[in-house]
Structure 1
Amino acid sequence: MDLELRHLKTIRAIADAGSLTRAATALGLAQPALSAQLKRIERALGGALFERGREGVRATALGDLVLERARVVLPAVCELQEEAVRFARGGTEEGYRLGGTHGPLLGGLVDRIARDDPGAPVTTYISWSEREIAGGVVDGRLDFALVGVCGESGPPEAGRLAWTEVARDPVYVMLAADHPLAPRAEIDLAELAAEAWTDVPGDGCFGDCFAAACVRAGFTPACVYETDTASCVHLVQVGRAVGLCRATFPVTPGLVTRPLAGAPLMWRHLLGWHPEGRAASRSATVLGHTRAAHAEALATSAGRQRAGVAPPA
């Protein structure tokens, strides 16, 4: 079997995820299929690339060598492809390639860039995986990553990307408009001990942080529905569950958002870019647009309107 670029991307995904299970999720593969693919790659390269352990996988000496080369080859091939496309189109406009997770900030950022630089093309890429988004910037497929992390957790690819905090918000709870606690200005997490919960997926530590906050409040969530944003909203609207959301969550018919007393969970919005990438010179501009998009989203969110949450200084 000849080594291909997709094989290097697979090796990189496994190293970034730290386990075959998480890498399979990020790549959209079943774990047995990924394991079989890794074995074929290792046979082609002449040895094991990762050591398996109880806590995940760790690169071997051979794996480190391959990963080091992959970090050079993948961005170079991506840049070659982009230059070829620009040449074929007869233009040199670089544009903006933005990657992000779910939430209103990415849309606000696109709108502000389009107004500020109407001649530049803007493309977006969405993923539940913060690691995948960050990896796209490292590989040169994306210019900027707009992601979030829980509390003081570090961002993905911290050693290779430049990260700046856009803002930090308390995590809110969203309830059906007719929920008994909906009239309250804020809600103690312990008062929700008997509720079913719903939240969107992700590969950060938010799930663990939420579970720990619940334990501190004296309970363990009996049921957590992990699904897409639209389904989370529906489950809350019909009273099937309560949900967690950011303070920037937009006003939505049939539900309300409320801050949790004492702010047991925090969310940090981060913007990342490659310090030596083609878009590094525009990072200050994009950061300014992102902060403005956050302030606008916060000002029009349900939490701002109903709880008087002040925008960041």
Structure 2
Amino acid sequence: MELELRHLRIVCAIAELGSITKAANTLGMAQPALTAQLKRIERTLGGAVFLRDHAGTRPTALGKLVLDRARMLLPAVSALHDEAARLAQHIHSGEPLTLRLGSTSGPMLGGLVQRLGTLHPETHVAPHASWSANELASLLSDGSLDFAFIGVCGDAPPPPEPGVRWQTLATDPVFVLLSTRHPHAKDDAVELAALADERWCATPGDGCFADCFVSACAKAGFTPRNLYETDVLACVDMVESGHAVVLCQPTFREFPGVVAVPIAGNPLSWRHLIGWSHRGEMGLFAAEMIALSRAVYRELSEHRPSYARFLEANPEWGVSYADSAI
């Protein structure tokens, strides 16, 4: 006899109810038939799954192993059935599929929407922007989003939401955005210590980035004057006017009057992640979304001359092709 899902359901029912008689009633089986079925399961597994005495049934070491695996497999198979049914309903009804994308990274999201529109014109894309990676992770977990694009500082883990998987798309060094009139605007790289007297600015975000920036400044021998957090356009205005310098991604959109310059030694880094819920039907398209996202990132990098030059000299940065999900 080969082990089947119904056998795992039997083992789980007996363990949860602590009695073969109670499990038989719950499963709608006669108690002798359930006992016989359990014996066949135990023969298949090669040992006793339960110890039976006057106190009821208790799982053996083998039984605990089977229960651990069953409690992972049964919900996963149930979710697969639900996802397949919902997807089939979309297909057969002829209704357009809606893909809900969240992002803390505007350039990545915009490029992806364009590619999806070309490859899947029948799909409706619903974007959602947020500065909070934690918020997007929560929306993935509760099923309000299908995919989310976030960034995390250095080796920091992504937000720990149940049922959410993350895949690294790329890792960037953090650049600094300077006015084209700044003394270091034409440098191949600027020392962090050379910016000790500057006012600093960055877009909002949760996580440890602000703390890591202060730590990097301390290693460079100074304490930053301040770190404003504001929207992208306000950051650009303050840089262009010479009021502040901005910590930015090297794929940052280029604006007149400002330039992105590498920081010598790359003391700060930023990981781009894509996340999805393995309990949602769109998780079936995760591999395609990862491939499209990497393609969008490569295109962004190639269209930023300063970063393209940096990557040519530093190939260890940029797009990541590791396949292990977090």
The alignment's TM-score, normalised by the length of structure 1, stands at 0.69
- For 1:104, what is the secondary structure of its paired residue? helix
- For 1:207, what is the secondary structure of its paired residue? helix
For structure 2, which runs of at least 5 residues remain unmatched after alignment? 1-81, 321-326
User: Distance between the aligned counterparts of 2:319 and 2:225, measured in 1?
Assistant: 35
Partners of 1:97 and 1:122 within 8 A in 2: yes
> Aligned-pair distance for 1:95?
2.3
Is 1:168 aligned to residue 171 of structure 2? yes
**Identical-pair percentage:** 43
- For 1:252, what is the secondary structure of its paired residue? coil
Partners of 1:251 and 1:302 within 8 A in 2: no
- For 2:150, what is the secondary structure of its paired residue? strand
2:185 aligns with 182
| Residues 158, 253 of structure 1: alpha-carbon distance in 2 compared, 3 angstrom cutoff | same
User: Distance between the aligned counterparts of 1:307 and 1:254, measured in 2?
Assistant: 21
Partners of 1:101 and 1:147 within 8 A in 2: yes
Partners of 1:248 and 1:303 within 8 A in 2: no
- For 1:264, what is the secondary structure of its paired residue? coil
Partners of 2:251 and 2:300 within 8 A in 1: yes
User: Distance between the aligned counterparts of 2:153 and 2:303, measured in 1?
Assistant: 23
Letter in 2 for 1:206: F
Letter in 2 for 1:224: L
Is 1:248 aligned to residue 251 of structure 2? yes
1:296 aligns with 299
- For 2:275, what is the secondary structure of its paired residue? strand
Is 1:269 aligned to residue 272 of structure 2? yes
Partners of 1:130 and 1:203 within 8 A in 2: yes
1:280 aligns with 283
User: Distance between the aligned counterparts of 1:167 and 1:308, measured in 2?
Assistant: 12
Is 1:208 aligned to residue 211 of structure 2? yes
> Aligned-pair distance for 1:165?
0.3
Is 1:260 aligned to residue 263 of structure 2? yes
User: Distance between the aligned counterparts of 1:302 and 1:103, measured in 2?
Assistant: 19
> Aligned-pair distance for 1:308?
5.6
User: Distance between the aligned counterparts of 1:131 and 1:91, measured in 2?
Assistant: 35
1:107 aligns with 110
Q: Say which is worse superposed, 303-312 or 129-138, in terms of deviation.
A: 303-312
User: Distance between the aligned counterparts of 1:196 and 1:188, measured in 2?
Assistant: 15
1:221 aligns with 224
User: Distance between the aligned counterparts of 2:228 and 2:303, measured in 1?
Assistant: 27
The alignment's TM-score, normalised by the length of structure 2, stands at 0.66
Is 1:236 aligned to residue 239 of structure 2? yes
For structure 1, which runs of at least 5 residues remain unmatched after alignment? 1-78
Q: Tell which structure's C-alpha radius of gyration is larger.
A: 2
- For 1:99, what is the secondary structure of its paired residue? strand
User: Distance between the aligned counterparts of 1:210 and 1:247, measured in 2?
Assistant: 16
- For 2:139, what is the secondary structure of its paired residue? helix
What CA RMSD, in Å, does the superposition of the two structures yield over aligned residues?
2.2
Is 1:126 aligned to residue 126 of structure 2? no
- For 1:147, what is the secondary structure of its paired residue? strand
User: Distance between the aligned counterparts of 1:171 and 1:158, measured in 2?
Assistant: 26
